[in-house]
């Protein structure tokens, strides 16, 4: 284990992971940081989620310095959980065991690199990975979607589920079939307009529509999460510009009429370059 002075001063690139692990151990020890010492696996779940999303935001922005920082914050969460697991006799593992299990898994699941498999394309690699995973977890005789996307947000889970069932032929023969299904689901949503807001059927039909749209995204090679994020950003950009235009005309958002809003919105759209 590093000395305290080494933890503070070490700059050797090959020892920085060791340094981070040693610092976390010191923070959790008696005389360390009270906050770090009080944390549990459960208490920092929200930190893990938040850091992952902040890292994703930096990746999408191609903000390399920020991405480096955020990847460090994600790594901190891994090191934090590893340290707590090492302290727990019932868990009994730390970073070495985590890294070893990861390395073994990478070797097992890449037999086309480290073994005798003849798989040569991406689709084959993914199918092979899934087969090996099912074998490892002894789930060959269990439901095909067992634990598929477990814990993911709903849209990402829908994307993963549709990709998985498509591998066994549960899919539309062409894109037009999905578009037709979207029209069908949209009609069914329209039939619920007379129902009260929040009615179970309203939720069900809107869910069916969203699920089908995710299917079209998959078929078109579009990550629905990225597509929705881009749409959010575009709307935010245009709305900010709309607000600025109205302000220049002496109109506040609360005072603006629907006609004012629409006129400003169209002006904003006309100023944006065509994609």
Task: Provide the percentage of residues in the chain whose pLDDT is more than 90.
Answer: 83
Higher pLDDT, 268 or 138: 268
Tokens read off for 186: 């949209």
Q: In the predicted model, is pLDDT for residue 70 greater than 70?
A: yes
* Nearest by Cα to 102 from 78, 86, 120: 78
* pLDDT at residue 226, as a whole number: 87
Average pLDDT, the chain: 94
State pLDDT tens for residues 80-112: 999 999 999 999 999 999 999 999 999 999 999
Sorted by sequence, the CB contacts under 8 Å of residue 60 that are 6+ apart come out as 226, 229
Domains 4-106 and 143-222 equal at CATH topology level: yes
What is the rounded average pLDDT of the residues 214-222?
96
Residues in the chain: 275
State pLDDT tens for residues 240-257: 999 999 999 999 999 999
* pLDDT at residue 98, as a whole number: 97
194 touches 183 (CB < 8 A): no
What is the rounded average pLDDT of the residues 115-124?
94
* pLDDT at residue 275, as a whole number: 59
Please state which of the ranges 22-31, 45-54, 141-150, 157-166 shows the lowest mean pLDDT.
141-150
Tokens read off for 15: 């020892």
pLDDT tier for residue 5 given thresholds of 50, 70 and 90: very high
What is the rounded average pLDDT of the residues 145-153?
86
Higher pLDDT, 130 or 13: 13
Domain ranges of the chain: 4-106, 116-142, 143-222, 226-271
213 touches 240 (CB < 8 A): no
* pLDDT at residue 234, as a whole number: 93
Q: In the predicted model, is pLDDT for residue 14 greater than 90?
A: yes
* pLDDT at residue 45, as a whole number: 93
Q: Which backbone phi and psi does 268 adopt, to 5 degrees?
A: -60, -45
State pLDDT tens for residues 23-45: 999 999 999 999 999 999 999 99
What is the rounded average pLDDT of the residues 152-165?
92
State pLDDT tens for residues 137-146: 876 677 888 8
State pLDDT tens for residues 183-196: 999 999 999 999 99
* pLDDT at residue 167, as a whole number: 86
Fold of the 143-222 domain: Helix Hairpins (1.10.287)
> DSSP of the chain, one letter per residue?
---HHHHHH---GGGHHHHHHHHHHHHHSTTS-HHHHH--TTTTHHHHHHHHHHHHHHHHHT-HHHHHHHHHHHHHHHHHHHHHHHH-TTT---HHHHHHHHHHHHHHT-HHHHSS----SHHHHHHHHHHHHHHHTT-TTS-TTTTTTTTS-HHHHHHHHHHHHHTTT-S-SSHHHHHHHHHHHHHHHHTTTTSPTT-HHHHHHHHHHHHHHHHHHHHTT--HHHHHHHHHHHHHHHHHHHHHHHHHTT--TTT--HHHHHHHHHHHHHHSPP-
78-94 CB burial, b ≥16 within 10 A, e <16: ebbbbbbbbeeeeeeeb
Q: Note the CATH architecture for domain 4-106.
A: Orthogonal Bundle (1.10)
């Amino acid at each position: 284990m590093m000395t305290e002075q080494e933890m503070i001063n070490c700059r050797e690139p090959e020892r920085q992971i060791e340094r981070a692990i040693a610092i976390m151990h010191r923070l959790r020890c008696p005389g360390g940081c009270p906050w770090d010492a009080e944390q549990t696996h459960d208490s920092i779940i929200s930190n893990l989620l938040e850091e992952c999303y902040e890292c994703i935001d930096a990746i999408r922005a191609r903000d390399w310095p920020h991405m480096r920082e955020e990847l460090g914050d994600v790594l901190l969460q891994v090191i934090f959980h590893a340290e707590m697991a090492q302290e727990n006799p019932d868990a009994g593992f730390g970073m070495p065991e985590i890294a070893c299990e990861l390395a073994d898994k990478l070797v097992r699941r890449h037999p086309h690199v480290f073994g005798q498999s003849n798989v040569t394309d991406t689709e084959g690699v993914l199918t092979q990975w899934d087969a090996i995973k099912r074998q490892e977890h002894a789930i060959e005789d269990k439901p095909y979607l067992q634990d598929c996307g477990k814990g993911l947000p709903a849209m990402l889970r829908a994307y993963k589920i549709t990709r998985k069932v498509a591998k066994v032929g549960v899919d539309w023969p062409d894109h037009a079939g999905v578009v037709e299904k979207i029209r069908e689901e949209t009609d069914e949503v329209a039939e619920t307009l007379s129902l009260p807001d929040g009615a179970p059927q309203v939720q069900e039909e809107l869910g069916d529509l969203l699920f089908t749209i995710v299917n079209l995204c998959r078929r078109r090679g579009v990550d629905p999460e990225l597509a929705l994020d881009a749409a959010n950003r575009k709307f935010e950009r245009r709305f900010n510009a709309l607000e600025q235009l109205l302000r220049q005309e002496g109109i506040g958002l609360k005072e603006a009429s629907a006609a004012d809003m629409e006129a400003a919105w169209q002006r904003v759209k006309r100023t944006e370059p065509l994609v």
